[in-house]
Amino acid sequence: MDDAHTKNEAESLAIQMKDSKFLVSLVFWHDLLSQVNFVSKELQRDTMDISAGISSFEKLCNWLKTYREKGFQEVLIGANELAEDLDVTPVFQTKRLRKRKKQFEYESADEAFSDPEEAYRVQCFNHVLDKALQSLGPRFEQSQKHASLFGFLCEFKNLPKDTIRKSAANLELALTDVKLVQENEQVSTVKSLDINGYMLCEELEALKPILPSDCRNPLQILQFLAYNNRSTAFPNLFIAIQIFLTIPVTVASGERSFSKLNLIKTYLRSTMQEDRLRSLAIMSIECEVMKSLTLGNILKDFAEQMVRKIKF
């Protein structure tokens, strides 16, 4: 009985998978999720900063807008090629339109689509892309605000001094912490400044002629100042770039690293000691370093250290 039920269910699924609408949806979701997955991995890189993250986000939004206007025909072509490989006729099945009950008299009747492909494009293809564009905006509002504040640090070489001075003043205001202090029944305000906007502008102007041409992003500028012992000569710029680079674009990379501990403990339970747990956690978190190591060399070093030589 179970085998017959499973067989019927598998046959019905096979028939549905050969449906033209399913093939079109398969190609459509593959294109969409591939682009989203690529940008997601880009944002989770350790060297990713907000300016580069905003650039990747804008490219994804532009791709979605272009794909919404011109991508449906490409999806149909890909679905037709897939249907030929499966020996299936790529034809949309026409379905009867279900009438929606009116709640009010002034509501208009549902407009029927004579072409099922056009109905799919309007009701599914465009609808999904519109929702994707609407959901991406609020996720990056805070990052866009940070990029507007710190963005001049990436482009100061090509900016006039007046623009740099104005941007530095806005950054100084954003990084100012105002506290209320009560002394002798009097309340006063105390400002704590992380940077000085005027001095930051002067430091950027002084850095322009000596900064190498290959230093194009904030990380390279920070490394140039640190490796050449010039952090004390440009203190405000050094602090501003450090704050800029420590603002996370996403938290997925950090969450994935910390979740390794639970995975290791679940797999090995409580059969190991603390030293082994700590070592496995470090190996799991630093997996990129582990991939670059050669197992044969490690085993050779281990054998040389653990070998017991007996003198006769």
Residue 286 is part of which domain span? 259-306
Q: C-alpha distances in angstroms, 296 versus 20, 189, 299, 307?
A: 52, 64, 5, 16
> Which pTM does this prediction carry?
0.61
- Long-range contacts from 144-150, C-beta under 8 angstroms, 24+ separation: 144/54, 146/50, 146/244, 146/247, 147/50, 147/51, 147/54, 149/174, 150/50, 150/51, 150/218, 150/240, 150/243, 150/244, 150/247
Q: What is the pLDDT of residue 1?
A: 47
Query: Are 123 and 150 members of one domain?
Result: no
Q: Which of 63-67, 87-91, 127-131, 136-140 has the lowest mean pLDDT?
A: 87-91
How many distinct structural domains can be found in the chain?
Answer: 3
Query: Are 20 and 113 members of one domain?
Result: yes
Query: Are 85 and 170 members of one domain?
Result: no
> Is 312 among the domain residues?
no
Q: Is residue 131 within 8 Å of 194, Cβ to Cβ? A: no
* Torsions phi, psi for 155 (to 5 deg): -125, 20
> Is 252 among the domain residues?
no
Query: Are 7 and 80 members of one domain?
Result: yes
Query: Are 23 and 103 members of one domain?
Result: yes
Query: Are 69 and 192 members of one domain?
Result: no
* Torsions phi, psi for 86 (to 5 deg): -90, 0
User: Tens digits of per-residue pLDDT, 33-52?
Assistant: 999 888 888 887 777 777 77
> Is 70 among the domain residues?
yes
Query: Are 50 and 179 members of one domain?
Result: no
Q: Give the confidence band of 252 by pLDDT, cuts at 50, 70, 90.
A: low
Query: Are 10 and 133 members of one domain?
Result: yes
Residue 292, helix vs strand vs coil: helix
Query: Are 196 and 129 members of one domain?
Result: no
Query: Are 127 and 211 members of one domain?
Result: no
Instruction: State the first-to-last Cα distance of the chain, in angstroms, to the nearest integer.
Output: 75
Summarize the confidence of residues 212-237 as an average pLDDT.
Answer: 86
* Pairwise CA distance, residues 299 & 297, whole Å: 5
Query: Are 264 and 239 members of one domain?
Result: no
> Is 68 among the domain residues?
yes
Which residues in the chain belong to E strands, given as ranges? 176-183, 186-193
> Is 254 among the domain residues?
no
